[in-house]
Amino acid sequence: MTEVNEVPPAKHLVVALIYEGLCTFEFGIAVEVFGLERPEMGPAWYRFAAASPETGPIRAAGGVKVVADGSLELLSQAETIVIPGWKSVDEPVPDQVIRALQEANRRGVRILSICSGVFVLAEAGLLDGKRATTHWRYTETLALRYPNITVTPDVLYVDEGDILTSAGSAAGLDLCLHLVRRDFGSEAANKVARRLVIPPHRDGGQAQFIEAPVPKAHESARLGLLLDYLQKNIAERHSLEALARLAGMSKRTLLRRFEAATGKTPARWLLDTRLSNARELLETSDLTVDTVAEVVGFGSATLLRHHFRQQFATTPIAYRLAFGKGG
């Protein structure tokens, strides 16, 4: 095994923690986003390495073996550390791993977990007083076991600055793309997403993936037409009565079937869609905030700013500065 030395100053080193019983898919996410050569992204793209507390090949899920690039000493060189899942939510975390992560946190290293990897961060005390998420199957366990953590169960990921957590395994892709967006801007995140053939940002939280009754086929078709109509007429005002008439349902049936199909009420779906459209325009266009508000259906910049701050904890102008064409 070799250590990573002589770090080029322009390159950001991402180190993934690997361990016996490694979650293969979660590790693959980290490799795919941070570990592949991407010459189209320029010379400052990430470097990637894998660190392990164990020596020799690591057995990963699926019958494969992985060889680390180095020991936990690599974590002392990292600028971002990825915890790609954990072997079991009841599996103890080795003391040397906890100490290495605590030291990295003291140095201001950015640390992110995917799915059950949140339990490693929790055991190290790095989430005390912070918000965090994990797969919906584990949120109750996380909240009961670590009462000092504010568990947010219905989101795809939580960004607390230097500590970030994702929900289920695939939500790790959302979180990693979010980091690319933070580091290199929206255009870079979009390029990586296109290579992965996934959207650069998924709206909604993991509540939409929890098992729920599937609407009947003919009602699904009617809802599909209704959703298409709303997308094309997003800037207009839509009352529940008018939507029910368009869908050919009673208001009560529409509410029940709409939420079963989308995981949201019509009002919430409209709000999230308008916010998503606003974010895209802020990233890609030169429209004023007032015009963006009108185009997506908020009517006024004041209302857009209110909902934007509630949803994203920032303002439209600050978001454009960070992720817009000039960001």
pLDDT tens digits, residue range 239-289? 999 999 988 889 999 898 888 777 788 999 999 899 989 988 998 899 999
- Domain end marker among 243, 263, 283: 263
In a domain, 1, yes or no: no
In a domain, 201, yes or no: no
Residues 231 and 272 in one domain: no
Average pLDDT, the chain: 87
Provide the CATH number for the domain around residue 278: 1.10.10.60
In a domain, 185, yes or no: yes
Assigned token pair, 8: 């080029």
In a domain, 3, yes or no: no
In a domain, 8, yes or no: no
Which domain range does residue 60 map to? 13-196
- CA–CA dist 286, 249 (Å, integer): 40
Assigned token pair, 98: 């906890």
**How many structural domains comprise the chain?**
3
Assigned token pair, 234: 């997003």
Residues 189 and 217 in one domain: no
In a domain, 7, yes or no: no
Q: In what order do the strands lie in the sheet with 157-159?
A: 47-51, 13-17, 80-84, 110-114, 163-166, 157-159
In a domain, 221, yes or no: yes
Residues 40 and 106 in one domain: yes
**pLDDT given for residue 326 in this prediction:** 60
In a domain, 6, yes or no: no
**pLDDT given for residue 9 in this prediction:** 45
Stretches where the chain sits below pLDDT 70 are 1-10, 199-222, 325-327
**pLDDT given for residue 199 in this prediction:** 64
